[in-house]
Amino acid sequence: MRNYKLLNFKVNGNEMGKLVAIEGLNQIPFEIKRIFYIYGVKGDAVRGRHSNRNSEFVMINVKGSADVRLHDGSKEHVVNLSKPNEGLYIPKLMWKDMYNFSDDCVMLVLSSEVYDENEYIRDFDEFLKEVSKNE
């Protein structure tokens, strides 16, 4: 499996509650150009089903739980995200499926690139072809 990584963020907590701070190029390995968040996902829905040619991501479930299946072209690995202080770093050219969303799940995603539909690979066979060209 290529180099995905689980990141643990420091929790600043006291009797008033908790706070996690994330800075580009500091807690995460890229400059943040885009954030988006996914919520209100039905329990049986599978999101993602794509790979990105250029974007790197960090996914954080700031609330709730979901599973992320990563495929690097030869192996797959499933990561459960359920802690607001845990991030999943995903390099480019990884196939991603997100599923088993809890009703309350809010998945925050940080990305190294702005949105460009042309860098999305939405066909798994095409993804396998492009990975094998790159390695």
Q: Which candidate in 49, 50, 53, 69 is catalytic?
A: 50
Q: Which of 22, 28, 38, 88 binds ligand TYD (CB under 6 A)?
A: 38
| Cα distances (angstroms) measured from residue 45 to each of 64, 66, 85, 132 | 15, 11, 24, 29
CA–CA distance, 48 with 98 (Å, rounded to integer): 6
Question: Nearest CA to 116 among 55, 58, 57?
Answer: 55
For 1-135, where are the alpha helices, taking DSSP H only? 124-134
Annotated active-site residue 50? The verdict is yes
Tokens of 106: 């809010």
Q: Which stretch binds ligand TYD (CB under 6 A): 19-27, 31-39, 56-64, 76-84?
A: 31-39
Q: Which of 11, 21, 36, 132 binds ligand TYD (CB under 6 A)?
A: 36
DSSP for residue 62: E
Tokens of 134: 């790159």
Whichever of 19 and 78 has its CB closer to ligand TYD, that residue is 78
48 binds ligand TYD (CB under 6 A): yes
- Give, as ranges, the residues between 104 and 123 that touch ligand TYD (CB under 6 A): 115
Closest approach, Cβ 46 to ligand TYD, in A, equals: 8
Q: Which of 9, 24, 47, 67 binds ligand TYD (CB under 6 A)?
A: 47
CA–CA distance, 46 with 67 (Å, rounded to integer): 10
Q: Which residues are catalytic?
A: 50
Contact residues: ligand TYD, CB under 6 A = 34, 36, 38, 47-48, 115
